[in-house]
Structure 1
Amino acid sequence: MRDSGCISCAIATGQADAGIVYEADSVIAFMDLQPVTPGHLPVVPKTHAVDLENLDKGVGIQVWKVAHQLARALRWSGLRCEGVNLFLADGEAVFQA
């Protein structure tokens, strides 16, 4: 499922440019155009899900596995990385965009 107004869906389908860092069947990670910090990497499912309730459990697990791998890679990279923040916004009330 795709949402034509969703930037993550556009990136996942190649309709929007992005610096892809990781890509698999169900997950994609990319450099953010407006990074909060250096190394800011959104890790998102390739299938559109409005919220966690609509996200396939296996895909959700894969998202967190990839986030863990990339967090480790950031720690070992040349970027200054004093900490890693894993952030999940599930709903507009908590700033999900």
Structure 2
Amino acid sequence: MACVFCEIVAGTAPAIRVYEDDDFLGILDIRPFTRGHTLVVPKRHSVDLTDTPADTLAGMLAVGQRIAQATRASQLGATGNNIAINDGKSAMQTVFHIHLHVIPRRDGDKLSFAKGMLLRRDPDREGTGRILREALSQLDTTG
């Protein structure tokens, strides 16, 4: 079975890229809980926490931290973020290529977050991607 994240890394499947370096790719979740919900994907395939090297996990978290900073510094207006790895089918992992979720949160957003869990869409994915890329670029020049 083909891995959609490996296809995205290879450039043969579409995704809105917000971050990329030699080892990791940051892409907008196709079914976001909130606007700016980003997935940090290692370019080297591993399935879950049982077969992912510790340095890969650390690298995913470092990239996730930068993206979280960008959600706060941008017009997305996050005041916090949820960071999560769904490890295995019983933990709701649906794509079996390890990845880190960065989910922007805002003060008082419990109702809209719950709605986002049901609807899971962003009507302006291209705009959201642009916002995050610009914010990451600004962080790179100031931090």
TM-score normalised by the chain length of structure 2: 0.62
Give the aligned residue type for 2:86: A
Q: Tell me, yes or no, if structure 1 residue 23 matches structure 2 residue 39.
A: no
User: Any conservation in 2 of the 1:21–1:29 contact (CA below 8 Å)?
Assistant: yes
Structure 1, unpaired ranges of 5+: none
Determine the C-alpha separation between the residues in 2 that align with 1:96 and 1:56: 18
How many residue pairs get aligned? The number is: 94
3-state SS of the aligned residue for 1:52?
Answer: coil
Q: CA RMSD in A?
A: 1.2
Q: Find the counterpart in structure 1 of residue 35 from structure 2.
A: 38
Pairs within 5 Å for 1:1-97: 5-97=2-94
Determine the C-alpha separation between the residues in 1 that align with 2:56 and 2:20: 13
User: Any conservation in 2 of the 1:20–1:30 contact (CA below 8 Å)?
Assistant: yes
- Greater RCO (CA < 8 Å, at least 6 residues apart): 2
3-state SS of the aligned residue for 2:19?
Answer: strand
3-state SS of the aligned residue for 1:65?
Answer: helix
Residue identity over aligned pairs, in percent, reads: 36
Higher helix share: 2
Moved over 4 A (4+): none
Q: Which has the larger radius of gyration?
A: 2
TM-score normalised by the chain length of structure 1: 0.89
Higher strand share: 2
